[in-house]
Amino acid sequence: MNKWCIVSNEALSAEASNELIQVLKDGGCDIGVCHDGANRVFTSVPAITPELEPLVVSVELTEDSTEQALIMQVGAFLKANHTDKILVADSSVFTTLFNHPIHRLWCGNYETSAQLIADYTEIFGANQFSQTDNLESLKQLARAAVFSFIPS
């Protein structure tokens, strides 16, 4: 399986705190994309030597891995906003995340209130919003709900 990594934009915008972050800043991996305004995903991983392993958070895909568990692991990393670590996982973990309603709620890339409300209802089982509510306000409320939902 192909490994990808994710790092906070804050880590990339500051002086690199370690060699892994510097490699990403220098373009040593495939160009990263930012879906949520806060983190960047790279479709390759810098070389990880044994001395750099403490700087890596790994999410391992196993036969027993559930979609929910994977999303919570990645979400906890993103919520922590590490500036000195990267998260590494199989590309399928990121694909699962990107296709999940909780990620869409976090990113807030919606054209209509109806789309956001449908995702919110799917994740949280209740709809506290109205389709007449301002979409930008709904995005902020949904992101706050996701932030509270993900464990620290």
Angle at 59 between CA 46 and CA 147, to 5 degrees: 105
Q: Say if 69 falls within a structural domain.
A: yes
Residue 82 sits in the same domain as residue 29: yes
- Distance between start and end Cα atoms, the chain: 28
The Cα–Cα gap between 110 and 6 comes to 23
Write down which residue in 48, 66, 90 finishes a domain.
90
Residue 13 sits in the same domain as residue 62: yes
What is the domain count for the chain? 2
Q: Among 99, 102, 104, 86, which residue's Cα sits nearest to residue 151?
A: 102
Residue 139 sits in the same domain as residue 72: no
Q: Where are the beta strands (DSSP E) in 2-150?
A: 3-8, 39-42, 56-59, 86-90
Residue 54 sits in the same domain as residue 122: no
Range of the domain at 112: 101-149
- Two structure tokens written together for 1: 């399986």
pLDDT band, residue 133 (cuts 50/70/90): confident
Mean pLDDT (whole number) for 103-113: 92
Tell me if residue 79 falls in helix, strand or coil.
helix
Residue 84 sits in the same domain as residue 136: no
pLDDT band, residue 40 (cuts 50/70/90): very high
Mean pLDDT (whole number) for 88-101: 92
Q: Among 30, 33, 39, 48, which residue's Cα sits nearest to residue 12?
A: 39
pLDDT at 121: 94
Residue 62 sits in the same domain as residue 122: no
Mean pLDDT (whole number) for 82-108: 92
pLDDT in tens, 50-82: 999 999 999 987 888 888 888 889 999 988 888
Residue 66 sits in the same domain as residue 18: yes
pLDDT at 152: 80
Name the amino acid, one letter, at 121.
T
Q: Say if 96 falls within a structural domain.
A: no
Residue 18 sits in the same domain as residue 78: yes
Residue 9 sits in the same domain as residue 82: yes
Q: What are phi and psi of 73, to 5 degrees?
A: -65, -50
